[in-house]
Structure 1
């Protein structure tokens, strides 16, 4: 499945790739020009043939209680503002808050911490 055009190379398309890490199934949203290899199933490295390294792991925001959905990634690729809800525990209480996320070539996605969602 193709989610959109790669924002960092001319002819790449962002594909949905199914991976298994630590026994859990996770989606990798990666450029069609990025090919990855792994020896242990956990650490993925680019192959020498890869011409782009853009990728977003579905679980990249899991420490905030958030797994990215395909529609959120598609919206990011189309340049839309994307607001996600995070969950955490603070003083033994469950706290939810919303933040904007944006594309990042280095990390896939980044959270914009200094802007509050109204």
Structure 2
């Protein structure tokens, strides 16, 4: 994936903070698709015109809930970007997959962009 979207002038550092978690296939597939879409969005949009950037991925089991956080330190999303994102096929798929997991998705577009998905298995 990195090769497809990589701007070779931008150095991207990945930071991972992952618990060792085992999930069933009905959870793993939608979770993997969500993760792929959120990373792809960061690679495509977050670092235009920048020499360096970072993407952080956290996956934890906290208080009987699974929490996936994907964030970047890129340009963030303006209010108009947030409105336009509701028409984005990729983010619509993320929202549908979140519903499939009976999860809650939170987005923050300041100081980069971050998504937090909380769900139970």
User: TM-score scaled to structure 2, two decimals?
Assistant: 0.25
Q: Report which of the two structures shows the higher radius of gyration computed on alpha carbons.
A: 1
| Higher strand content, 1 or 2 | 1
| Higher helix content, 1 or 2 | 2
Specify which structure has the bigger relative contact order, considering alpha-carbon pairs within 8 angstroms and separated by 6 or more residues: 2
